[in-house]
C-alpha cells in the first residue's frame, strides 16, 4: 500500500468519523442507543454530501499550512495564518470550539504565542487533537516529528493537556501510516506525552479497558470521563475514548468510528480521531464505499477559506510536500 493511499484513507476516515458523529455530539451512550440503536450511517445534506464540522475544516486548515510551510512551520506562521484567514470572519464563528474562539480573541488583543494559548484558559480542549492527523500524515513513520509539529501549532491555541492531546494523535497517526498494528499505534501516541500527565493516565486506562469490549461505554466513562465538568471537549478524555474505540474496533475503519460514536460525549471528534487512525492503517480502500461517496468538498461553514477543498486533494498535497522536502 502506498503512502498516498494511506494519506487519503486517513483524511477520509477523519471526515467520515466527523460526519458520523455530528448528530450524536454531546449525547450520552444511552441516548444514542435510544435514538439510533447503533449509528452507522452518515446523514447527507440536500446536495447528497455529508456535513462535517470544524474537525474536518480545521484538519484541512492544517493540511494547507503544511503544504505551504512543511517541516519549517513555526508558531508565528500559524498565528499569521489565523490573522489572515480566520480573524477576518465576520459574525459568529459557527461551530468553533472554545480554544479556537479564545485564540481569535487573544490575537485580536495583540497577543503572540505562546500567550495566545495561555490567556484564554481553555488550553486543555481537544481543538488541537481534532486537527492533528495531518501532522502524522506529513511525518509518516516519524512520530517524534509529527508530535513536534503538532506542538508548534498547539502553542498558538492550547497549553498543557491540550498540547499533549494533539501530540498523542499526531504521533499515533504517524505510526498508523506505516501499517502498524493498533496496539503499536496507540503505544506511540502514549509515548509522545509525559508519563505523569492527565492524558497519559486517561489513555493508559482506556488501553486496559479496550482489551475487553465487555460493557465498554460504562467502564470507559467511569475511568476517563470528567462528570463534574459541563462540557465534553476535554482533550485527555476525547483522546482516550478515541484510542479505546480504535483498539476495540481492531483498526477497522467502520467499527472504530461507529464504536467511538457509541461512546457519546464529543462524538464527532472522537470518531474523527478513531477514523483517521484506522484510515491511515487500512488506506483509502478501507473506508466504507458508502461513506466515501458521501464525503465531498468542505462547505466552509466554520472556515470559509477552506470551502471547496476536498480531503482527498489535501491528502495528495501533503504527500507531494513531504516528498519535496
Q: What is the DSSP string of 238-274?
A: HHHHHHHHHHHTTT-HHHHHHHHHHT-SSHHHHHHHH
pLDDT higher than threshold 70 for residue 95: no
Binding-site entries for Mg(2+): 53-55, 266, 268-269
Q: For residue 237, what is its C-alpha cell?
A: 478524555
**SS3 of 127, please?**
helix
User: pLDDT tens for residues 181-240?
Assistant: 999 999 999 999 999 999 999 999 999 999 887 889 999 999 999 888 888 999 999 999
Answer yes or no: is pLDDT of 47 > 80.
no
Reading phi first (left if > 0) and then psi (alpha if -120 to 50, else beta), residue 181 is in beta
Give the number of domains in the chain.
Answer: 1
Among residues 312, 321, 299, 262, which one has the least CA distance to residue 28? 262
Compute the average pLDDT of residues 276-297. Answer: 97
CA distances from 270 to 2, 154, 282 (A): 26, 18, 18
Confidence of residue 2 (pLDDT cuts 50, 70, 90): very high
Known binding residues are 53-55, 266, 268-269
Range of the domain at 115: 3-324
Long-range contacts of 187-193 (CB under 8 A, 24+ apart): 188/143, 189/143, 189/239, 189/243, 191/143, 192/143, 192/144, 192/147, 192/164, 192/167, 192/168, 193/164, 193/167, 193/168
- Rounded Cα–Cα distance for residues 317 and 321 (Å): 6
Summary mean pLDDT of the chain: 94
Residue indicated by cell numbers 509515548: 191
User: Could you report the per-residue pLDDT of 112-144, keeping only the tens digit for each?
Assistant: 999 999 988 788 999 999 999 999 999 999 999
User: Of 193, 138, 133, 195, which is closest to residue 168 (Cα–Cα)?
Assistant: 193
Which CATH number is 79's domain given? 1.10.4080.10
**Residue 123 has what DSSP assignment?**
T
Amino acid at each position: 500500500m502506498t503512502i498516498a493511499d494511506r494519506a487519503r484513507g486517513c483524511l477520509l476516515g477523519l471526515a467520515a468519523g466527523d460526519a458520523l458523529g455530528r448528530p450524536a455530539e454531546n449525547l450520552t451512550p444511552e441516548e444514542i442507543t435510544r435514538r439510533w440503536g447503533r449509528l452507522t450511517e452518515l446523514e447527507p445534506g440536500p446536495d447528497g454530501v455529508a456535513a462535517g464540522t470544524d474537525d474536518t475544516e480545521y484538519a484541512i486548515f492544517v493540511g494547507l499550512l503544511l503544504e505551504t510551510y512543511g517541516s519549517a512551520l513555526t508558531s508565528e506562521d500559524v498565528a499569521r495564518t489565523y490573522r489572515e484567514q480566520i480573524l477576518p470572519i465576520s459574525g459568529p464563528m459557527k461551530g468553533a470550539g472554545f480554544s479556537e474562539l479564545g485564540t481569535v480573541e487573544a490575537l485580536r488583543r495583540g497577543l503572540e504565542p505562546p500567550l495566545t494559548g495561555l490567556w484564554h484558559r481553555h488550553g486543555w480542549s481537544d481543538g488541537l487533537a481534532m486537527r492533528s492527523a495531518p501532522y502524522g500524515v506529513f511525518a509518516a513513520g516519524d512520530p517524534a516529528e509529527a508530535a513536534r509539529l503538532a506542538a508548534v501549532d498547539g502553542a498558538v491555541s492550547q497549553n498543557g493537556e491540550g498540547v499533549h492531546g494533539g501530540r498523542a494523535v499526531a504521533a499515533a497517526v504517524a505510526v498508523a501510516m506505516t501499517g502498524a498494528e493498533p496496539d503499536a499505534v496507540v503505544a506511540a501516541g502514549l509515548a509522545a506525552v509525559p508519563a505523569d500527565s492527565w492524558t497519559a493516565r486517561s489513555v493508559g486506562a482506556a488501553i486496559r479497558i479496550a482489551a475487553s469490549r465487555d460493557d465498554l461505554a460504562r467502564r470507559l466513562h467511569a475511568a476517563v470521563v470528567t462528570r463534574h465538568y459541563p462540557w465534553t471537549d476535554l482533550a485527555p478524555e476525547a483522546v482516550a475514548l478515541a484510542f479505546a474505540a480504535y483498539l476495540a474496533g481492531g483498526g477497522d475503519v467502520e467499527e472504530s468510528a461507529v464504536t467511538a460514536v457509541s461512546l457519546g460525549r464529543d462524538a464527532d471528534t472522537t470518531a474523527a480521531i478513531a477514523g483517521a487512525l484506522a484510515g491511515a492503517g487500512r488506506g483509502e480502500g478501507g473506508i466504507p464505499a458508502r461513506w466515501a461517496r458521501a464525503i465531498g468538498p468542505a462547505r466552509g461553514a466554520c472556515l470559509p477559506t477552506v470551502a471547496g477543498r476536498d480531503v482527498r486533494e489535501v491528502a495528495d498535497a501533503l504527500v507531494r510536500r513531504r516528498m519535496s522536502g
